[in-house]
Homo-oligomer: A and B are copies of this chain.
Amino acid sequence: MNTNPLVGRDVVSISDLSKAEIRAILDQAADFERRLQAGERLTLLDGRILATVFYEPSTRTRLSFESAMHRLGGAVISVAEAKSSSSAAKGETIYDSGRMLESYADVLVQRHPAVGSARALADAAGVPVINAGDGTGEHPTQALLDLYTIEREKGALDGLTVAMIGDLKNGRTVHSLSKALAHWKTKLILCAPKALSMPPQLVAQLRSDGVAAIETENMGAALAQADVAYITRIQQERFETIEEYVAYRGVYVITAEALSKAKPGVTIMHPLPRVDEIATDVDPLPNAAYFRQARYGVFVRMALLAMVLGAI
């Protein structure tokens, strides 16, 4: 790539990014992965400061960003539990928080339970803001690392059949990922209990964007066709009765046995943490990609940090 299209940009929603911009991010991530693998010490962000501000805990996401910053030679300041912090407790607004944080850091990563909070911070702060999850809203860096994982494991993004399995109603990761996949020639199999199916307006939007989207409750059928199976957790509190939960819970569990009837080599992904929707007998399989997925996330976040800070 000749130019870096993300300099000074906020990354609030996956929908803000064009296909070319996503392409540039994935390419940059691959470049960083290669260079780290070769033992290169990267110092592109020497002297820069990242602030991670988490109003709800998300150890995995926070550590992933902080690791990415350090891998590029940058420094980190952190509010791991912002809810109990003095400023928030004293009633400080997101606007004022943004005006404060821009004085202390060169780039901000925020996790907040309220939809729209990332946009509010981005509007306030004079430095780039990366959304690390805003309630049921967006989690764009998860979608980007999911794309990177698929391409890295399958060699391409075009021409794949991707099954999304589990709670597709509430899972913000599958919403963001499905929107991102719409840039490529993808067939989606949406496999969920009726009560937890993908929101109809999102399915309609995906189809109008040219995605072949099929809905089913049958996990076996989904696995038989999928090149990639993206699993999400089904949470008990989403159901009206325990009986309903238990019934579904038994069905939507990936085991080595279930995979023996799947399309050979199907890549198994999960945003983690898992509870029991993937059995541990799947872990040793070469196509179990969910732990590699976490590692890829560091490269993708390195790319985002370096690009919005104009270090590329």
Contacts and interface: CB of A to CB of B under 8 A. Distances in A.
Interface of A: 41, 46-47, 49, 51, 56-60, 63-64, 66-67, 70-71, 73, 75-77, 79-82, 84-92, 95-96, 99-101, 103-105, 272-275, 280, 291, 294-295, 297-298
Contacts of A81: 80-81, 84
> This chain: how many copies in the complex?
3
Contact of A291 (B63, B89, B100): B100
A89 B294 contact: no
Nearest to A69: B75
Given A41-B47, A47-B41, A104 B67 contact: yes
21 contacts: A41-B46, A41-B47, A49-B70, A56-B86, A59-B79, A59-B82, A59-B85, A59-B86, A60-B86, A60-B100, A64-B104, A81-B81, A86-B273, A87-B273, A91-B273, A96-B272, A100-B273, A100-B291, A100-B294, A103-B295, A104-B298
A298 to B, nearest CB: 6
A99 to B, nearest CB: 4
A66 to B, nearest CB: 5
Given A103-B295, A298-B104, A85 B57 contact: yes
B91 A63 contact: no
Contacts of A105: 63, 67
A190 B63 CA distance: 44
A101 B88 CA distance: 29
Contacts of A64: 103-104
B86 A63 contact: no
A87 B271 CA distance: 12
Nearest to A274: B96
A44 to B, nearest CB: 13
Given A57-B89, A59-B87, A87-B272, 17 more contacts: A47-B73, A49-B70, A57-B84, A59-B86, A63-B77, A63-B100, A63-B101, A67-B103, A67-B105, A79-B80, A80-B80, A81-B81, A92-B274, A95-B280, A96-B273, A103-B294, A103-B295
